[in-house]
């Protein structure tokens, strides 16, 4: 299994997927190569992004399988067939089960639009605005069995400006995501991320 062979999981527009493709085209993925898109929504725009970029896609509807575990077993079989070493969640709107977590322990990462552990789960940007924080941001973390509970790899802050709406704040957060996520993926692909318990060490990020 090679760390540099990457599968990206996405469910929606695929803007972070697009940022990763651009980084790869610019030679900025640390030797990593996006080998596969996995989506649980075959009709999602991200599937067209993959086609346009010439990246193979595995498009599976979970409802076509008898359980979440059978759905993920089909995914794992394809990941292993393609010798995927790193799984990158980019707007993938499903909790991962042990069927995928166990064979890829320490090799699945996710990006979240808050400074975890604050505002985990859905609508993190709305949660931050409702709470009235002055600072929020972006977190890239390892994935475990919980919702946004895995060890933090990297974080960057985003100031909440007076008068911000969910849309204006989201726009600034997304800009940070598009820069940070490719940097972390490159570090992972190059073997520059170490995990000891919940503590991560990232060199040259």
Which residues form the catalytic set? 112
88 — alpha (psi -120 to 50), left (phi > 0) or beta?
beta
Which of 40, 36, 51 is closest to 12 using CA atoms? 40
Which residues touch 151 (CB under 8 Å, ≥6 apart)?
141, 142, 144, 195, 197, 198, 199, 200
Which of 75, 69, 143, 78 is closest to 99 using CA atoms? 69
Q: What count of residues does the chain have? A: 205
Which of 146, 62, 153 is closest to 97 using CA atoms? 146
């Amino acid at each position: 299994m090679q760390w540099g062979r990457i599968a990206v999981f996405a469910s929606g527009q695929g803007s972070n997927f697009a940022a990763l493709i651009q980084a790869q085209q610019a030679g900025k993925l640390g030797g990593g190569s996006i080998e596969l898109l996995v989506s649980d929504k075959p009709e999602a725009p991200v599937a067209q992004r993959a086609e346009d970029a010439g990246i193979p896609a595995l498009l599976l509807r979970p409802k076509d399988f008898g359980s979440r575990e059978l759905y993920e077993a089909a995914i794992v079989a394809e990941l292993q067939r393609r010798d995927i070493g790193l799984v990158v969640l980019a707007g993938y709107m499903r909790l991962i089960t042990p069927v995928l977590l166990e064979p890829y322990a320490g090799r699945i990462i996710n990006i979240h639009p808050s400074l975890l552990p604050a505002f985990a789960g859905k609508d993190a940007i709305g949660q931050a605005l409702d709470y009235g924080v002055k600072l929020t941001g972006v977190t890239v973390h390892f994935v475990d069995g919980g919702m946004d509970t895995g060890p933090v790899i990297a974080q960057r802050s985003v100031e909440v400006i007076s008068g911000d709406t969910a849309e204006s704040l989201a726009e600034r957060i997304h800009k940070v995501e598009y820069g940070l996520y490719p940097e972390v993926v490159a570090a992972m692909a190059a073997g520059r991320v170490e995990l000891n318990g919940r503590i991560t060490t990232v060199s040259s990020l």
